[in-house]
Structure 1
Amino acid sequence: MLEEVAFRAYAQGVTTTKPRIAIAGMAIESSTFSPHRAGARDFQRFEGEELINRYTSLREGSARDAAEWLPVYYARSIPGGAVLREVYDDVKTRILDGLRELVAGDGIDGLFFDIHGAMSVVGLDDAEGDLISAIRDVIGNDVVVSASMDLHGNVSRPLIEQADIITCYRLAPHEDTAETRDRAIKNLLDALTSGVVPRRAYVPVPILLPGEKTSTRVEPAKSLYARIDEIETRDGIVDAAIWIGYAWADEPRCHGVVVVTGTDDAAIASAAEELAAEFWRVRDEFEFVGPPGTLDEGVAAGLASPTIPYFISDSGDNPGAGGTGDVTWTLAQLLQKPELTADDSPTVLVGSIFDKGALDFLRTQQVGSTVTVEAGARVDSGPHGPVTITGELVSLTEGDPDAGGIAVIRVGGIHAIVTEFRKAYHAIEDFTSIGLDPFTAQIVVTKIGYLEPTLYDAQRGWTLALTPGGVDQDLERLGHHRIQRPMFPFDSFDHTPDLSAEIFGSQA
């Protein structure tokens, strides 16, 4: 119990019996196929009480009083391309300096390591592995580290070797984000207060699939993840986790992984191998969570739909998965359709493309006037170059935390959203905050894959359009060449791969 923590605290010169737990991390999902580079502006930074209050159990729960929480530094960004090396190095330095100061003072017993798991950094193959290795150099091997991750993250060997406790989301879409972080915090507190650090059974699974084919809304992922609840009731097991991995990065660590954590090696190994075998068994059953189709098929279905709104996912340029957010291919196609651009056309909301220069120009124009502006494709011009939009400037909105300035231009029924900076239109409030009502629109087109909760609840029909971009659903079209092979679905297998568990962690 707490006596063991108190003993360690005494040995480090700490006068309190509460464990001292640092909080640090860096999170982004990065497509290496996207030409976007995540810079300093892309990241929100958290320190002090603001960092502690990010977590429900520390803001409202009893965990706040169970330890002395020491916020170090945390940076997060919406998904995008690889992170500029200087930006990563800056965040890494801030984390290491903060931890170094704590270690030199009263020391720390634990670290809550808040990461995504699919961060790519220019010049690195395993960013989270690099970060945890540098952290271990500062804090040593006796500090207990508990990591919280996205199930679309990647668990590399350096990460599994150096994170004592590790867990991930169990829902996609990720409606259990807060719950997962709180579980990682609870697991860390349990280890520190009991004095027993669990071990990890690790099984890499040679499967690499996009999130839109592995949503837990549908089978087989729904039942696969449902097995976790029963496994966690078994003696000697603390946590079970399945990582789908991140399909839009071309790195050796990108593949499925199962990790089961606990105090009984035989139990965790058996459970990890059981989950991995089931993951492998159902590999051919994964299908798109929404009805897939071409953009033209989506538009035709949307116009014919008797109920509204009808949603179309512009999935190839989804900023929520790492797309640049400025691919103009879809908007250009829509602007060529007279059934959408006539004065009597039904309302079609199109979110969005970003272009700072276009916003600078539109700010010089009067709302209500007719404008002509060239926008988009400044970062990713592969599928289509900048698009020319001529129509009524419906609105100009300033001060969005992600988008900066936002303009809406109406061309017939099309309401094209142009932003100053990258923004994902993944919630109803993203539209309503700029005066657009998705519930009265015939069609809503947005750069997304599977629909996030408020959009999913609003839709009365849906096409997951297989459009081009940095997170193209056609993985073979992207051209991976650095992932481990063989890998499903890129390769055929004439035998079951080795799905034996490897145990990590110190013996008690």
Structure 2
Amino acid sequence: MSRPLRVAVGGVHIESSTFSPHLSTAADFEVTRGEALLARYDWLAEPWAADVEWIPLVHARALPGGAVARETYDAWAAEIAAGLATAGPVDGVLLDIHGAMSVVGLEDAEGDLVTVVRSVTGGAPYVSAAMDLHGNVSHRFFDGCDLLTCYRTAPHVDVWETRERAARNLVEALRRGQRPHKALVHVPILLPGEMTSTRVEPAKSLYARVPEIEARDGVIDAAIWIGFAWADEPRCQGAVVATGTDAAATAEAARELGERFWAARDAFTFVAPTGSMDECLDEALTAVKDPARRPFFISDSGDNPGAGGADDVTFALERMLARPEIAGGSVRAVYASLVDPEAVAQVAGLAPGSPVSLRVGGRIDAREPGPLPIEGVLEAVADDPDGGRCVSVRVGGLSVFVTSRRMQYRELASYARLGVTVDAVDLVTVKIGYLEPELFDAAGDWLLALTPGGVDQDLQRLPYERLARPVFPLDRDFEADLTVVTSP
């Protein structure tokens, strides 16, 4: 009887804005090893996976943030290398990653990571990567992998399905004993995720083509990467990768999707109406008079921690407090949130109902107006699995959420921990881009505010220096090179 397949699993999962002053360190990451790492994957008991020996390396995952400290990345890359060396010969490696990690001093972090893996395993094992569609596919990373796939939805509701697909494709390829054919098309488009939601066109139809193409004879997988707009690196652009058992079918799949992506470039628009923060507030304060439009959501998109923002720019909060309807209490509102562990520590020992005077935010990203003075009443204190110790300070009609750790208020349970039932308030401003599913379902209406921050949605305002140019929409009058790169 032949021995079982041996597949190692690990990765570093984060997207990093190089325009954010936040530095991501080991303290920002949730790290799993050993049986705890394998327990993340409920498909290990499926028939196709049950007779595989799965070897856990290390997996580190963080909320998006700024670039990763070099020593932090180097330590995990070294641990992955050491784990592979200790494991002995493996047939395959599953990389569970995001794909848009930036590391201080590197310009292609995932390319470096797959090179580290290959330095230990050599070229014989197959490497399969599961990625976010907002990741990047450099030539170096493409060359180092045998199979690549990514999410097909934004917001991402198929995260675990994608990881299972990457693992299953790897196991099936190993059992066939045929190294997959690969084809890559770089598409010179760079767009924020808020313009490429698969809820709306053209991304809806573009991604709907993926399973149809994947079903063709000779094709294993097809994937479209939007790329990551908030890193100033040459690899940041759209990409299409197809893998298959037939070279011609694989190349045709990549060519077709690449051409469709490029042809749709002018049709991409924001997933919701946009405006300045003041314009959005003008609309919101009128809208909340209509019960059908409450709660009204405003996305403070430029400082969205879900894309890498520092999570402490106070611009949107200042604009809310400047509105007499909110400051005076005739409109019930929530601001979620600012990270400021110092401010939380100052008030967390007080009883709810205590008067408080604080300066909040602006400690990481000091864009105007910087640290903001607020005076109010301590409304609630709670521990959150993402934000740590969190507090709510009531200022007039506004509950200001302040957290000990960076977090994104994307789930209704996080609001409830601080005593807020979202459907009982008029207005919620949240540091987010497109509304995640629970908020989208709860919203009576919403707008996306083009606010300042490390993930500014107005890409023309960002100081790019190292992107591969030309790239749409920063450049418009050029012919795209949609050359299909194949391997082997």
d(CA) in 1 for partners of 2:257, 2:311: 36
User: Which segments of 5 or more consecutive residues in structure 2 lack a partner in the other structure?
Assistant: none
For residue 486 of structure 2, give the secondary structure of its aligned residue in structure 1.
strand
For residue 377 of structure 2, give the secondary structure of its aligned residue in structure 1.
strand
Q: Which amino acid aligns with 1:144?
A: Y
Q: Which amino acid aligns with 1:261?
A: T
d(CA) in 2 for partners of 1:386, 1:216: 37
> Cα offset for 1:322?
0.5
Alignment-derived partner of residue 479 in structure 1 = 463
Partner residue of 2:17 out of 19, 31, 39: 31
Deviation sequence 1:439-479 (CA, Å, 0-9, x none): 11101110000000111111110001111100001111012
**Counterpart check, 1:51 vs 2:34:** no
Alignment-derived partner of residue 134 in structure 1 = 116
Partner residue of 1:158 out of 131, 140, 154: 140
Deviation sequence 1:197-250 (CA, Å, 0-9, x none): 211101111110110001111000111111112111211100000000000000
Partner residue of 2:423 out of 434, 439, 457: 439
Of 296-305 and 90-99, more deviation after overlay is shown by 296-305
Alignment-derived partner of residue 366 in structure 1 = 351
Partner residue of 2:179 out of 184, 194, 197: 197
Alignment-derived partner of residue 12 in structure 1 = none
Q: Which amino acid aligns with 1:374?
A: R
d(CA) in 1 for partners of 2:411, 2:250: 39
Q: CA RMSD in A?
A: 1.2
> Cα offset for 1:388?
0.6
Q: Which amino acid aligns with 1:441?
A: V
Partner residue of 2:228 out of 246, 266, 277: 246
Alignment-derived partner of residue 450 in structure 1 = 434
On the 8 A contact 1:383/1:468 being kept in 2, the answer is no
Q: Which amino acid aligns with 2:140?
A: P
On the 8 A contact 2:357/2:375 being kept in 1, the answer is yes
On the 8 A contact 1:56/1:178 being kept in 2, the answer is no
For residue 11 of structure 2, give the secondary structure of its aligned residue in structure 1.
strand
d(CA) in 1 for partners of 2:167, 2:349: 50
d(CA) in 2 for partners of 1:62, 1:173: 30
Alignment-derived partner of residue 14 in structure 1 = none
Deviation sequence 1:171-211 (CA, Å, 0-9, x none): 01111101100000110110111112211101111110110
On the 8 A contact 1:237/1:263 being kept in 2, the answer is yes
**Counterpart check, 1:378 vs 2:360:** no
> Cα offset for 1:377?
0.6
Alignment-derived partner of residue 498 in structure 1 = 481
Alignment-derived partner of residue 86 in structure 1 = 71
Alignment-derived partner of residue 257 in structure 1 = 239
d(CA) in 2 for partners of 1:383, 1:288: 25
For residue 38 of structure 1, give the secondary structure of its aligned residue in structure 2.
coil
On the 8 A contact 2:340/2:361 being kept in 1, the answer is yes
d(CA) in 2 for partners of 1:479, 1:70: 43
Deviation sequence 1:12-66 (CA, Å, 0-9, x none): xxxxx210111010010000000000011100001112111212312x5334413
Q: Which amino acid aligns with 2:210?
A: I
User: Which segments of 5 or more consecutive residues in structure 1 lack a partner in the other structure?
Assistant: 7-16
On the 8 A contact 1:154/1:245 being kept in 2, the answer is yes
d(CA) in 2 for partners of 1:182, 1:394: 43
Q: Which amino acid aligns with 1:349?
A: V
d(CA) in 1 for partners of 2:153, 2:140: 25
Alignment-derived partner of residue 20 in structure 1 = 6
On the 8 A contact 2:10/2:94 being kept in 1, the answer is yes
d(CA) in 2 for partners of 1:234, 1:365: 63
> Cα offset for 1:300?
2.7
For residue 405 of structure 1, give the secondary structure of its aligned residue in structure 2.
strand
> Cα offset for 1:384?
2.1
On the 8 A contact 2:276/2:449 being kept in 1, the answer is yes
TM-score (norm 1): 0.93
TM-score (norm 2): 0.97
> Cα offset for 1:301?
2.5
d(CA) in 2 for partners of 1:24, 1:76: 11
Partner residue of 2:203 out of 197, 209, 221: 221
For these two proteins, the number of residue pairs brought into alignment is 484
When residues 362 and 268 of structure 1 are mapped into structure 2, their CA distance, relative to the original with a 3 A threshold, is same
Q: Which amino acid aligns with 1:40?
A: A
Q: Which amino acid aligns with 2:420?
A: L
On the 8 A contact 1:160/1:504 being kept in 2, the answer is no
> Cα offset for 1:364?
4.0
Alignment-derived partner of residue 82 in structure 2 = 97
For residue 17 of structure 2, give the secondary structure of its aligned residue in structure 1.
coil
For residue 186 of structure 1, give the secondary structure of its aligned residue in structure 2.
helix
> Cα offset for 1:395?
1.0
Q: Which amino acid aligns with 2:470?
A: P
d(CA) in 2 for partners of 1:498, 1:387: 48
| Identity rate, percent | 51
d(CA) in 2 for partners of 1:151, 1:504: 21
On the 8 A contact 2:49/2:171 being kept in 1, the answer is no
Question: What are the residue-to-residue correspondences of 1:105-120 with 2, within 5 Å?
Answer: 107-120=89-102
Deviation sequence 1:243-263 (CA, Å, 0-9, x none): 000000000000000101001
Question: What are the residue-to-residue correspondences of 1:224-303 with 2, within 5 Å?
Answer: 224-303=206-285
d(CA) in 2 for partners of 1:77, 1:147: 18
